[in-house]
Amino acid sequence: MRLSGWRTKAPGRDGINPKVIDTVGSILTALGAEADPHCWVTWGDETASRWALMAPCPAGLAVVNVRAGGPQEGSRAGGRLVRWSKVQVGELAAEAEQGHRLVMFQLEGQPIRGADEQADDVAAFAGLTLAGIEGRPLPDLDRGVKGRAVVPTRSTGKPPANRAIAAAARPGSPGSVAGSAPPPAGGAAARSPGTSRRSAAG
């Protein structure tokens, strides 16, 4: 998820308003990252005003700490770039039970975890980070989101509509349109009214 998308998940939107995002974006670009990068945001004890983000970029991991003050104080932000050789990373773990998923990851001592739908976000962010650590090109997460398949959460007990339509279209199947009438018993050919048995026989 990009930085701009985290605003919808913020406990207090005043702490991550457009003005604050612009301030953070200027720091990120100075560190070599995009102004609106794929990142992970953690909320501090004062969730409405303190938060931090970690954004992988080609040179390393950009870490920015933000304090959004009141109208008189203004917002303050400071960042640093941790080179990939210095980044501390833990194991990537995943669990699944009764249709629910949990993905866990640790970066710079910060535990990152997500369940169900958010598990995909954690896995994608971990893959982005591990690619940077291993010196591989950073993957395009935007392309991965567009191509992500939608997996149904529960079965309705009914076949998908396209399979049902295909089955109905097969000759001889119940409710089929093609070949709707079965042949008469004994294999006799259908005759129109007024046709004699002899002419029908040839």
Q: Is the pLDDT of residue 14 over 80?
A: no
Q: How far apart are CA 108 and CA 93, in angstroms?
A: 16
Average pLDDT over residues 188-192: 44
Average pLDDT over residues 129-154: 73
Higher pLDDT, 201 or 117: 117
- pLDDT tens, position by position, 15-51: 788 888 999 999 999 999 999 999 999 988 776 678 9
Confidence at residue 167, expressed as pLDDT on a 0 to 100 scale? 47
Overall residue count recorded for the chain in this entry: 202
In terms of pTM, does the model score above 0.75?
no
Higher pLDDT, 71 or 104: 104
Collect contacts of 47-54 with beta carbons under 8 A, ≥24 apart: 47/10, 47/11, 47/12, 47/15, 48/11, 48/12, 48/14, 48/15, 49/12, 49/14, 49/15, 50/15, 51/10, 51/15, 51/16, 53/3, 53/6, 53/24, 54/107, 54/108, 54/110
Confidence at residue 61, expressed as pLDDT on a 0 to 100 scale? 98
Confidence at residue 85, expressed as pLDDT on a 0 to 100 scale? 96
